[in-house]
Amino acid sequence: MQRRVVVTGLGVISPVGNDAETFFSSLMAGRSGIRRMQVEFIDKVDAQLAGWVEDFDPLAHFVKNKAATMDRVTQFAVVASQQAIRDAGIDLETEDRERIGVHLGTGMGGAASIEEGYVRLYRDQASRLKPFTVLMAMNNAAGSQVALELGITGPGLTYCTACASSAVAIGEAVRQIRHGYTDVMLAGGSEALLTFGTIKAWEALRTLADEDKNDPSASCKPFSANRSGLVLGEGAGMVVLEDMDRAVARGAHIYAEIIGYGSSSDSTHITQPSVDGQARAITRALTEAGITPDQLDYINAHGTGTKLNDVTESAAIRQVCGTGVPVSSTKSMTGHLMGASGAVEFVACMMAIEQQSLPPTAHLAVPDPECDLDYIPNFGRRDVRVHTVMSNSFAFGGTSGVLIARKV
């Protein structure tokens, strides 16, 4: 018999708050974390807005020498992981750490460290780079440092499936516990790619949003007729997953049980999403969960704000679930956290169950006729039934990751 897996701890670093309570309170208030970046290259980029974490001080969490050996993506991941472990009430000193693992997703890993190395080498003509350049830039640095800082010695894996990375990391971590390989998993994702080179590369793709001249913080408008693209963001989300019997036995607070995970590949186009591909992942998650779409109380959409994505995802949801389930895109407030987005949005789903409240899709004033679902426009809904939730993550390359959880 497969073991049941529950969520007992949450950690988040985001543009709208650096703990789960503040984060969700901001979402419910429709408060946007999209702002003008305070960076030295600001005049060299057209996309000057981002879901930027402006109140994160590494030296509040790490001694100076330790901070200097960690890229920003790793700093986010470690702090979010520490939060999640504390929230779960787990004392690692008394645990069998071989039965605990780390699964972390990221799209670009140590982007800032890679760029700094190139600048020193090619622009400054440096004869040597920092000794830690490779160790800060490698994609598995964040997950490895989480395990190192917490002394976790179970399975440590990094997932890189673009925007679906952290949703896949959580889904695969569930399987580790279900099949008995571990008892506890720390799973999620981190991203910190707001660098000059990365932003210029995204500008070349022509998918970034135009700035809203009346309210820059409202520049990301998922599902709106006047949407113009996505806004890049940064942050981290981590969750503690546990075998349910173990969690109950120790009296842990349980946010929800993860009952379904579905993944698929579009196999159609490297950047253009597929209705059928997304629908397959949603269907697989529902099948594994053993529920029908009418049992869903909320869907946290991928909802990037691009013309094509929002229409495609709306069609995929409609194809499988109909039009009766409330849907929202919290990217309207955080921006698109890329490899971290699935985990951060899953934390939002856990808080939705916890507080029996649904966060809105902000800035949705002009509905798109092709996007005809209940997108919870502009204002969150409080004191509603939130028992079963679904979180969608769809990526460049065609990877989809869908998670379903329910209140225990």
* Tokens read off for 72: 């920003």
140 three-class SS? coil
Catalytic, 163? Answer yes
103, 160, 220, 302: the active-site residue: 302
The answer for residues whose C-beta is within 8 angstroms of residue 403's C-beta and 6 or more apart is 167, 170, 171, 258, 260, 261, 285, 342, 346, 349, 390, 391, 393
Residues 282 and 390 sit within 8 Å (Cβ to Cβ) = yes
Contacts of 168 (CB under 8 A, 6+ apart): 105, 159, 161, 263, 342, 393, 399, 401
336 tagged catalytic: yes
Residues constituting the chain: 408
The structure tokens listed for 208 are 């970034």
Question: The dihedral of CA 58, 342, 48, 43: what is its sign?
Answer: positive
Question: Which candidate, 1, 35, 7, 10, places its Cα nearest to that of 243?
Answer: 7
Q: Report how far residue 105's alpha carbon sits from residue 140's, in angstroms, rounded to the nearest whole number.
A: 9
Supply 359's token pair: 């966060």
Contact 390, 300 (CB under 8 A): yes
Active site residue 387: no
Q: Which of 103, 160, 336, 371 is catalytic?
A: 336
Q: Which residues of 233-263 are buried (b: 16+ CB within 10 A; e: fewer)?
A: bbbbbbbbbbbbebbeeeebebbbbbbbbbb
| Identified catalytic residue from 103, 160, 163, 371 | 163
Catalytic residues: 163, 302, 336
